[in-house]
Amino acid sequence: MPLAANHSDVHDAITCRRALPEDYPALGRMLELYQYELSDIWDQDLSPQGEYGYDLTEHARAERFFAHVALVDGRYAGFALVGPAVVTQAEGQWMEQFFVMKKYRRAGVGTALAQHTLRGHPGPWEVGQIPDNLAASAFWRPVIGGLTSGQFEEVQVTEGWWQGRVQRFSVA
């Protein structure tokens, strides 16, 4: 798929796969970029070590936790983290974090990673967006709609451990 004109006008190879142990250092660094990017709408501060400090190792040991990566021409371009902590249903998968580096946005990488991740875990799903992340909602609605032929429900969660918009759907 072509990248934005200011980055490349050739077709680049997009690879999406489940993360391997050797991907975790890069995943950790991309998580720092992700948290920085959301720092204006997600209230968090740096640790004394100068990091946001998302504890990926704790999540990696959790039952039903999965990490996926997207690569463009073999270079890291994004990630998806999946867990079982659903918000509005009794069971299913929850998209914990999803990130595509700015260089690769609007080039099909996010859609490819989302489809790969969702199809890789059949069954009920929830994908949520914090209230001020309008770009995420604009991305997820057509991706989920395309994958489910429009068969999804969107709810607003205002109480509990997580609050915001949530799309509920099932992947065969």
**CATH number of the domain bearing residue 55:** 3.40.630.30
Mean pLDDT along residues 81-104: 92
Mean pLDDT along residues 14-30: 94
pTM of the model: 0.86
pLDDT of 9 reads 37
Within a domain: residue 92? yes
pLDDT of 165 reads 95
Within a domain: residue 138? no
Task: Determine phi and psi for 34, rounding to 5 degrees.
Answer: -60, -50
Between residues 6 and 169, which one has the greater pLDDT? Answer: 169
Which residues form the domain of 95? 14-122
Mean pLDDT along residues 80-98: 91
Within a domain: residue 8? no
Q: Which of 67-71, 86-90, 136-140 has the lowest mean pLDDT?
A: 86-90
Q: Confidence class of residue 63 from pLDDT cuts 50, 70 and 90?
A: confident
Angstrom distance (rounded) from CA 74 to CA 127? 27
Within a domain: residue 18? yes
